[in-house]
Structure formats: structure tokens, C-alpha cells
Amino acid sequence: MAAAAYRSGEKILNQWDGITHDYTHKSGVIHSEIILPSHAPPVLADRSNLWNSVELAEKATNSQLAREIEIALPVELTEEEQINLVRTYVQDSFVAAGMCADFSIHDKADGNPHAHIMLTMRPLLEDGSWGAKCRKVYDLDKKVQRISNGKGGWKTHRENVNDWNDREKAEVWRKSWADYANRALEQAGHSERIDNHSYARQGVEKIPSIHLGVAAWHME
């Protein structure tokens, strides 16, 4: 809830603990938007309703409530072009897969426009309720028979219901962002291009910079 309020520069009440997160004073938020799967209840288009629903659906105190992806935006594009780029990327990469997405674009005119994309972890079922993150699967022997646990039951393990948490997805999403951004740059008539590979994988002898944050940046 706090992250959603901070990213969007809004005021949100957490219905679970009664804490209000107010970031309406935050500057640099030029656009915020929620994109939902076609079968999602319209009520989730409200940021407070969406993330309160997410928090209330979890029972464990250590549950992961959201995934956040941060992307740097090409400075060559106009504000409108940046918004359209992020919207299309989010729709095709995440919402089409069944996630609810909440993205905000920040730009303080310091040459670092970027977007924060918050994504739901649970699949949204056709009836509008949140599905399970994983399912119980029986362990099987070489004869494809269930294996006894010696206590009157069967050995089992848990499997994710989708591939959203697979490590390989990060690479897929990075490559997809490069493709979308480069297409937008080309359509806007710019020759610049981005590369989703690290300097090392590109064969570039350069140390990547570290995002310090505004306080550390001023200290430097």
C-alpha cells in the first residue's frame, strides 16, 4: 500500500492496519495508470481498492504482495510517446498474461525519466477472485504411482501455477522492453537504440553506474 501510494503520489488508506499513506506532496509524478485483464472487476481500477484487495487476500505475514519492475525511459521521446510506450509494453507483457498492473512515470526534468510498474502476484480468476499462487502436486515413483509418506498419506510438493516467478522471465521481460523501446525510437525518427544486455555481455569494458537515490546523489 505504501509503495503504491508513493509511486503514484496519492493518499491511500490500508484497510488491513488502518494506516494512511499520504504522498500527495510528492513531485515528479507525471502519469499514473492501472491496467487490468478484461475479466477483472471494474472496482479494481481504483488504486486503493486494488492493493487493499491484494493485501487482504494474503494470510501469511511474509507473503510477497507485488512484483515491481523499474525501467528507464528514452529521453529522446516526448512525454506522450513515453506514456504510450510504457502502456503498450505493460499491456502486452504483463496484463495479457493475467496480471493487474499499476504503473507510474516519474520525471523531475533531471534527465532520468523512468517508470515503476507494480504487478500482482496471484492470478485473477474469471469470477473476479484471487487464485492460488501454487498448487499441491503428488510425488510419483518410477511407475507413476503416488509415494507413501509413512504416515498414512502421500508425499507432495508445491508447484507455481504460472511461470511469473521463473528466473528466465526476467530475461524475457528485459529483451521485450528493449524491443518495444527501440521500435518506439525508430517510429519517432531517432537513431538511438538501447540494449538489454549487460556491459560484460556486450563486450564493453565499462563499470555500470549505481542508482544512489536523491540523498546519496547530493552527498556525492
Spell out the domains of the chain, with CATH numbers in brackets.
Answer: 2-207 (3.30.930.30)
Check: CB of residue 140 under 8 Å from CB of residue 146. Answer: yes
- Average pLDDT of 192-196? 90
pLDDT of residue 214: 60
Per-residue pLDDT reduced to its tens digit, 39-71: 999 999 999 999 999 999 998 888 899 999 999
Check: CB of residue 43 under 8 Å from CB of residue 34. Answer: no
pTM metric for this prediction: 0.83
Per-residue pLDDT reduced to its tens digit, 125-172: 999 999 988 878 788 888 888 888 888 888 887 877 788 988 899 999
Q: Widest CA span of the chain, in angstroms?
A: 68
Burial pattern 181-208, b for ≥16 Cβ within 10 A else e, equals: bbebbeeeeeeeeeebeeeeeeeeeeee
Distances 63 to 57, 60, 95, 121, 184 between C-alpha atoms, Å:
10, 5, 21, 10, 37
